[in-house]
């Protein structure tokens, strides 16, 4: 086994075909695709000179058998590319690898920060955490539903008649609005509509001014143009009322980012229309992304699973400081929820 570090964007682009070979042969999520990682680095992280690309390639007989899509941030933490916006982070492997010796070979890294790992994470299966000073947390959730081909919500068997009636009420309320599914094959990227709705959300205090900035919008547009992202849109005769950016892979769809105006239940209506359209044609796996948002859980009754965050340190003192910081932040979050719930 030998390793190689990809540390610049030109080398990154050169491994596209090898990356896709591993990605397409395994059970990976949207966030392990080459395009997602490449355009995340190019559009969001590249401009910050403190960020250092650090993709690890593992070779066996001159063949790449593992790809670790990492970078090093200004705090000298090794972490996944665009991890804070990725609902599921992981490495890509085509062969069982022992990563402990590989990780220990880096001497400029102060800590490892691996967040949003699901229960099937290949990283968790290939690293022995007991060899490190580490903290593992389970503070984040994700939710999803699996639907057989059929008429939604009838094909969502866990829903009770009361919830199905609520969906019919919401659909009737917005009977004058139309639903569109936009993709690169049928529509150019709707930049003007997105910016108009974004500004409306910011002016209404629904989102902060940093929401969907120009860098992030470039990432979304790139994924749209590569046919890895589609758009679910609701509009009436006057304006666009709701937009959902949805990542797709085979029969899997993930509601990644939502935009909506002040129309009541318009975001839920967008979800209903998209799920209805897709599940009427085939079996689908619908992901609602990270977070245990009440309106998603209450309306769609999805399955809920935990995500792990793993933080690895090289000194007991650093681990102690991190634990204290985490305790303080958790206390603040709990207090905030109590005050503003």
Q: Does any domain span residue 312?
A: no
> Is residue 299 domain-shared with residue 158, that is, in the same domain?
yes
pLDDT given at position 337: 64
Same domain, 121 and 151: no
Give residue 107's pLDDT.
67
Which residue reads 């609902």 in tokens? Answer: 87
Q: Indicate whether 99 and 198 sit together in one domain.
A: no
CATH number of the domain enclosing 155: 3.40.630.30
pLDDT digits (tens, 9 = 90+) for 92-143: 999 888 777 777 667 678 899 999 999 999 999 988 888 889 999 887 899 9
Same domain, 157 and 287: yes
What's the rounded Cα separation, in Å, for the pair 332 and 227?
41
pTM, two decimals, is 0.93
Domain-located, residue 341: no
**What are the phi and psi torsion angles at 112 (to 5°)?**
-115, 135
The arithmetic mean of pLDDT across residues 58-76, rounded, is: 94
Residue 118: domain span: 2-131
Residue 171 belongs to some domain of the structure: yes
CATH number at residue 12: 3.40.630
147 and 82 share one domain: no
Do 216 and 283 belong to one domain? Answer: yes
Q: Can you name the residues that pair with 78 across neighbouring β-strands?
A: 72, 112
Residue 108 within any structural domain of the chain: yes
């Amino acid at each position: 086994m030998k390793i190689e570090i990809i540390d610049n964007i030109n080398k990154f682009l050169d491994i596209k075909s090898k990356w896709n070979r591993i990605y397409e042969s395994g059970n990976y999520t949207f966030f392990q695709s080459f395009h997602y990682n490449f355009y995340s680095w190019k559009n969001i992280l590249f401009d910050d000179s403190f960020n250092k690309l650090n993709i690890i390639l593992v070779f066996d007989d001159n063949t790449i058998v593992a790809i670790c899509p990492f970078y090093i941030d200004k705090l000298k933490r090794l972490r996944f590319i665009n991890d804070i916006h990725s609902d599921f982070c992981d490495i890509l492997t085509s062969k069982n690898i022992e990563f402990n010796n590989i990780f220990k070979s880096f001497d400029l890294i102060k800590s490892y920060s691996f967040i949003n790992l699901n229960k099937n994470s290949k990283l968790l299966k290939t690293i022995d955490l007991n060899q490190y000073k580490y903290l593992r947390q389970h503070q984040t959730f994700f939710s999803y539903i699996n639907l057989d081909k059929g008429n939604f919500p009838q094909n969502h068997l866990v829903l009770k008649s009361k919830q199905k009636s609520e969906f019919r009420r919401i659909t009737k309320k917005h009977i004058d609005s139309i639903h569109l599914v936009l993709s690169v094959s049928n529509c150019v990227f709707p930049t003007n509509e997105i910016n108009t709705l974004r500004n409306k959300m910011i002016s209404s205090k629904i989102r902060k001014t940093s929401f969907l900035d120009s860098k992030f919008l470039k990432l979304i547009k790139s994924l749209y143009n590569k046919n890895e992202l589609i758009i679910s849109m609701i509009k009436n005769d006057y304006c666009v009322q709701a937009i959902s950016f949805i990542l797709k892979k085979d029969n899997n769809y993930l509601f990644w980012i939502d935009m909506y105006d002040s129309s009541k239940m318009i975001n839920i209506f967008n979800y209903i229309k998209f799920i209805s359209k897709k599940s009427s044609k085939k079996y689908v796996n619908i992901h609602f992304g990270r977070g245990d948002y009440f309106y998603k859980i209450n309306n769609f009754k999805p399955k809920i699973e935990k995500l792990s965050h793993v933080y690895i340190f090289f000194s007991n003192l650093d681990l102690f400081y991190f634990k204290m910081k985490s305790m303080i932040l958790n206390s603040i979050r709990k207090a905030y929820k109590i005050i503003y719930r």
